[in-house]
Amino acid sequence: MKPFITIKAIRDGLTNKKFSAVDVHSFFTKRIAAHNQKLNAIIETHEQQPAQTTGPLAGIPFLRKDNISQNGQTTSAGSNILRNYRAPYNATIIENLQKAGAYSIGRTNMDEFGMGSTGEFSAYGPAKNPWNLSKSPGGSSSGSAAAVAAGLVPFALGTETGGSIRMPSSFCNLVGMYPTYGHNSRYGVIAFASSNDQVGAFTKTVYDNALVMSALGGVDTHDATTVQQPPKDYTLGLDGKLPEGLRVGILKDALTAEGMNDEVRATFEQSLREMEKLGAKLVHVDLPSWKYGIAIYFIIARAEAASNLSRFDGSLYGVRAQDIKNLKEMNELTRQQGFGIEIKRRILVGNFVLSAGHRDAFYNQACKVRALIKAEFDELFKSIDVLMCPTTPSLPFGLGETTSDPIAVYLSDYFILPNNMIGTPALQVPAGFSKTGLPIGVQFLGPRLSESLLYKVGHAFEEHTGHHLKNPQGYE
Ligand code: GLN
């Protein structure tokens, strides 16, 4: 088995009896032992062996982000407040993957409760980017991205509320999708902002991503927001070709957005030329409400987070402050000691925008803008099939570079947040590298439940450009 082997290649090897599921297990366990210490990508590994020999993912090990519950295992969402919390049941998506034959071998590092873009808000210290250890792998699913990029596991689960799958996959030369809201169950996933949260996978290729996404989805009676559609096999139709006459929308300011890095711009221009070579018809479009994505995410995600996090008060879950005199002190000290700085910032904003007298000015207003973005998206997709834009305007951040300027980091989600706010899917695919060897990504966005189309388009782009074939050095 070669490092950076894909899920597809492992499946073929197992089918042809080139190696066994036990070989696969020990191959990845050894890679984790050799490389995780410098990356800090994996918080804990589990003693688990392949159990199942049938199913589309039979014998494939994976890592779960630390906010996805696994029965009997610690699930702490990267936070001190849950450092000792053991999940009493499996998240539905873990069950679904197990049914497909995959098994979880550990949990990955992340920004506390999914709040951050660099992994530096983790209670376990930051994960590092295998492409350059002085850089962040992106966040909040920092460890999942770093682990897959270094080939420590064939795939890892992430969650995305506002970019936490697409941004780290862009920073680490990986494929990642934010699916349609409701495609995957949120049952057993520790909530950040419930109206955006979705689970997805980090993989090396579009095919692998489609394979895992096919296993993740499905109606769940424990999550009333799951979409009523039978699971689909998204690998069907991945033939390296674009659909005939595909109309690709390009946002008016896709090349001129604030803070746009020159190399990201050049890479995006090159990607557009590649799409034209593949037969796509580029259409310049405008989505006037796009620019409000960051602002309304700032309000809505914090409002929901403040509400969701109120359950962590020392009474039910996780850590409880010691030497407390009464209930009020228990609540206050537990939260004071248990939550990190970014969480506290967000709870403050969240409670403010929901408070009497401010709710109309902020929260209700943001919800109206959300409806406006949705209406404009619906209109837009009458004249285009997919929308294409850079994933982030910047190159991977240096570790320690951004902690003093949270606003600059929030702004880097410019291309990411609008579709999160309306729950429509987007697929990030590797698009090239900076002169210094740092990955740059591009994303394809579509209307609700357009996963099949996005995978097909992303697969054609990937086959044609081949950026996914490059791997970081030092992990051979
Ligand atoms: N950068 C986003 C934030 O800090 C990440 C959110 C997410 O997708 N979990 O809110």
Q: Which domains are present in the chain?
A: 7-246+387-469 (3.90.1300.10)
Res. 53: pLDDT tops 90: no
**End-to-end distance of the chain based on CA atoms, in angstroms?**
11
pLDDT > 70 fraction of the chain, expressed in percent and rounded:
100
Which pLDDT belongs to residue 51?
A: 83
Residue nearest to atom 9 of ligand 1 (CA): 114
Query: For a pocket test of ligand 1, which of 66, 140, 165, 167 has the largest count of ligand atoms closer than 8 A to its C-beta?
Result: 140
Res. 141: pLDDT tops 90: yes
Which pLDDT belongs to residue 252?
A: 87
Which pLDDT belongs to residue 251?
A: 94
Rounded CA gap, 74 and 92, in Å? Answer: 17
Decide: 415 and 347 in contact? Cβ < 8 Å: no
Helix axes 21-39, 142-149, angle to 10 degrees: 120
Res. 419: pLDDT tops 80: yes
Res. 255: pLDDT tops 90: no
CA of 453 to the centre of ligand 1 (A): 26
Query: What six digits make up the tokens of 454?
Result: 């996005």
Torsion, CA 145, CA 99, CA 52, CA 64, rounded to 10: 20
Which pLDDT belongs to residue 335?
A: 97
CA of 101 to the centre of ligand 1 (A): 30
Which pLDDT belongs to residue 123?
A: 98
Q: What is the largest CA-CA distance in the chain?
A: 70
Res. 102: pLDDT tops 90: yes
Which pLDDT belongs to residue 259?
A: 81
Among positive and negative, which fits the CA dihedral 75, 43, 146, 106? negative
Is 397 close to ligand 1, i.e. is its CB under 6 Å away? no
Which pLDDT belongs to residue 111?
A: 98
Segment 38-63 shows an average pLDDT of 94
Which pLDDT belongs to residue 52?
A: 80
Res. 398: pLDDT tops 90: yes
Residue nearest to atom 10 of ligand 1 (CA): 115
Residue found under tokens 């674009």: 242
Ramachandran angles phi, psi of 161, nearest 5°: -110, -40
Is 192 close to ligand 1, i.e. is its CB under 6 Å away? yes
CA of 144 to the centre of ligand 1 (A): 14
Is 114 close to ligand 1, i.e. is its CB under 6 Å away? yes
Give the pTM. Answer: 0.98
Segment 236-254 shows an average pLDDT of 95
Q: How many CB atoms lie within 10 A of CB 237?
A: 14
Is 451 close to ligand 1, i.e. is its CB under 6 Å away? no
Confidence of residue 409 (pLDDT cuts 50, 70, 90): confident
Confidence of residue 411 (pLDDT cuts 50, 70, 90): confident
CA of 219 to the centre of ligand 1 (A): 26
Q: How many CB atoms lie within 10 A of CB 398?
A: 13
Residue nearest to atom 6 of ligand 1 (CA): 162
403 or 300, which is more confident?
300
Is 116 close to ligand 1, i.e. is its CB under 6 Å away? yes
Task: Write down the mean pLDDT value for the chain.
Answer: 96
Confidence of residue 403 (pLDDT cuts 50, 70, 90): confident
Confidence of residue 220 (pLDDT cuts 50, 70, 90): very high
CA of 160 to the centre of ligand 1 (A): 7
Which pLDDT belongs to residue 390?
A: 97
Which pLDDT belongs to residue 63?
A: 98
Confidence of residue 179 (pLDDT cuts 50, 70, 90): very high
Residues 6+ away with beta carbon under 8 Å from 355: none
Residue found under tokens 């394979």: 211
Region of 213 (left: φ > 0; alpha: ψ -120 to 50; beta: rest) is alpha
C-alpha 88: how far from chain center: 24
Please identify every residue annotated as catalytic. Answer: 65, 140, 164
Residues 6+ away with beta carbon under 8 Å from 153: 28, 32, 61, 62, 63, 105, 147
Confidence of residue 258 (pLDDT cuts 50, 70, 90): confident
Is 338 close to ligand 1, i.e. is its CB under 6 Å away? no
Query: For a pocket test of ligand 1, which of 113, 142, 413 has the largest count of ligand atoms closer than 8 A to its C-beta?
Result: 413
